[in-house]
Homo-oligomer: A and B are copies of this chain.
Amino acid sequence: MKALAVMTLAATAMAWTAPAAAQFAKAEDAIQYRQGALFVMGQHFGRLGAMANGKAPFDARLAQENADVVAAMARLPWAGFGPGTDKGAPTKAKPAIWSEQAKFKEHADKLEAESIKLAAAAKTGSLDNLKAAFGPAAQSCKSCHDAYRSK
């Protein structure tokens, strides 16, 4: 039983540190995955932005739905940036992502944290709270795009 437990732990550790090849059949899939996740997130984020910036009427229920999707999606794209996924399909991802992994992860973690705050703000039903949380979340998108996404 102890040997089994150790093996299970080892297998779990492997799953968490496995290269992208283990999670995705090929680099192209990882690239398509991260692009898909970022695009879906961006669409919902944009709808929140329209409300926060007064370009769309504020609807507390829609704001919460969109913010919940953003918070759920914000966790996903990063698995698609594993080793060996810098090429394999058209991508705007800069090579620095793979040479500065710790810094890139900081950006990813920042977005996840801001998206959780944004969802909490949306849940209050207050446009002012949404506006206050939207700015820092948008800034976390922008700073990562400025550093790691080609024009």
Residues of B contacting A148 with CB < 8 Å? Answer: none
Give A37 to B15 CA distance when docked, in angstroms.
24
> A29: nearest residue on chain B (CB-CB)?
B43
Residues of chain A at interface, number, CB under 8 A: 22
Question: Inside 8 A of A11's CB, which chain B residues have their CB?
Answer: 57, 59
Is B29 within 8 A of A33, CB to CB?
A: no
Q: Number of copies of this chain in the oligomer?
A: 2
Is there a chain B Cβ closer than 8 Å to A138's Cβ? Answer: no
Which of chain B's residues has its CB closest to A16's CB? B62
Could you give, for residues 44-71 of chain A, a 1 whenever the CB lies within 8 Å of some chain B CB and a 0 otherwise? 0001000000000101011000000100
List 9 A-B pairs, minimum CB-CB distance, nearest first. A36-B36, A36-B39, A36-B40, A72-B72, A37-B40, A33-B43, A32-B39, A11-B57, A15-B62
